[in-house]
Chains A and B, each alone.
Chain A
Amino acid sequence: MPFFRPLLLIGALLVAVSAHAGKITVAAAADLKFAMDEIVARFRQAHGADQVEVVYGSSGKFHTQIQQGAPYDLYFSADIAFARALAKAGFTASEVKPYAVGRIVLWSATMDARQMTLAGLTDATIARVAIANPKHAPYGKRAEEALRASGLWEKVEPKLVYGENIAHAAQFVQTGNAQVGIIALALALSPELASKGGYWLIPDHLHQPLEQGFVITRRAQGNALAQRFADYMGSPAARAVMTRYGFVLPGEAVGK
Chain B
Amino acid sequence: MLTDSDLQAIWLTVRLAGLVTLILLVVGTPIAWWLARTPSRWKGPIGAVVALPLVLPPSVLGFYLLLAMGPSGPVGQLTQALNLGLLPFTFGGLVIASVFYSLPFMVQPLQTAFEAVGDRPLEVAATLRASPLDAFFTVAVPLAAPGFLTAAILTFAHTVGEFGVVLMMGGNLPGITRVASVQIYDHVEALEYMQAHRLSAVMLVFSFVVLLALYAWRPQARKGG
Contacts and interface: CB of A to CB of B under 8 A. Distances in A.
A58 B189 contact: yes
A133 B70 contact: no
A175 interface: yes
A177 B172 contact: no
Nearest to B170: A161
A164 B86 contact: no
A162 B172 contact: yes
Interface in A114-172: 127-128, 130, 133, 135-136, 160-164, 172
B89 A161 contact: yes
Contacts of B173: 160-162
A20 B89 CA distance: 43
Given A64-B189, A130-B171, 8 more contacts: A58-B189, A60-B189, A127-B86, A133-B189, A136-B186, A164-B167, A176-B71, A178-B89
Interface of A: 58, 60-61, 63-64, 110, 127-128, 130, 133, 135-136, 160-164, 172, 175-178
A177 B70 contact: yes
A34 B188 CA distance: 26
Contacts of A161: 89, 171-173
A162 B170 CA distance: 8
Contacts of A63: 191
A128 B89 contact: yes
B66 A175 contact: yes
Contacts of A110: 71
B171 A162 contact: yes
A133 B191 contact: no
B189 A172 contact: no
B40 interface: no
A163 B170 CA distance: 9
B72 interface: yes
Contacts of B69: 177
B173 to A, nearest CB: 6
B68 to A, nearest CB: 10
Interface string B190-222: 110000000000000000000000000000000
Contacts of B66: 175, 177
Interface string B161-176: 0000001010111000
Contacts of A128: 86, 89, 171
A110 B72 CA distance: 11
19 contacts: A58-B189, A61-B188, A110-B71, A127-B86, A130-B171, A135-B189, A136-B186, A136-B190, A136-B191, A162-B172, A162-B173, A163-B172, A164-B167, A164-B189, A172-B88, A175-B67, A177-B69, A178-B89, A178-B171
B191 A164 contact: no
B71 A64 contact: no
Contacts of B186: 133, 135-136
B85 interface: yes
A135 B190 contact: yes
B215 to A, nearest CB: 30
The 8 A-B residue pairs whose C-beta atoms are closest, nearest first, are A161-B171, A162-B172, A136-B189, A136-B190, A60-B189, A176-B71, A177-B88, A161-B89
A176 B70 CA distance: 6
Given A128-B89, A161-B89, A162-B172, A177 B71 contact: yes
